[in-house]
Amino acid sequence: MTTLIAKKKSARKGTAAKKKALKKKVFKRRDGAPKSAKSKLYANLVVQLLSLLKGEHDFIANASNFSALLFNSLPNVNWAGFYFLQGEELVLGPFQGNPACVRIPLGKGVCGVAAQQCETIIVPNVHEFPGHIACDVASNSEIVVPLFDGERLLGVLDLDSPLLGRFDDRDAEGLNELATVFVAHEEGLGL
């Protein structure tokens, strides 16, 4: 998990310093560490996801709403959705964006590699990723987060962007937290 580290700068008085601080959009967390606008966005998405999941027991409906939430809330994302593990391949689940590849073998493409390695993968330039599967030619960067039920791999959460270098460690941290919330809810339903 990534830790937020703040660089201390000398405090200046006056409106110029206040304007500069507002432009940075830095917020304080309860533990006193600064919280970036991106971190605040993900914290808000956790609250929204919990609200969407509350009282709903259908896995497909919940996965659909989760992918729609990400697609419509995160800037510069052109695909957001799920691939679920069936045997030795990932099979397309609920998503938002252009039509996608339906089946991805484990170890193939970013999704298959993330699933096989059981770790989050950030790819700043998908065109440089060996064996990348191009479902949407507009995609230039990607992040894939594995979904686990305890030790068992359920599948992956996949997001693409038309921008190079769109995803970073803060995205990985936020998406992993959201994935944990989603899976924990589904586990409670007997997934």
More confident residue, 75 or 133: 75
pLDDT digits (tens, 9 = 90+) for 69-119: 999 999 999 999 999 999 999 999 999 999 999 999 999 999 999 999 999
Own/partner contacts of 121-127, CB < 8 Å, gap of 24 or more, are: 122/167, 122/168, 122/169, 122/171, 122/172, 123/167, 124/164, 124/165, 124/166, 124/167, 125/164, 125/165, 126/160
Domain ranges of the chain: 34-188
CATH class of 34-188: alpha beta
pLDDT digits (tens, 9 = 90+) for 144-170: 999 999 899 999 999 999 999 999 999
What's the confidence (pLDDT) of residue 34?
Answer: 56
Residue 36 confidence class, pLDDT cut points 50, 70, 90: confident
What's the confidence (pLDDT) of residue 14?
Answer: 35
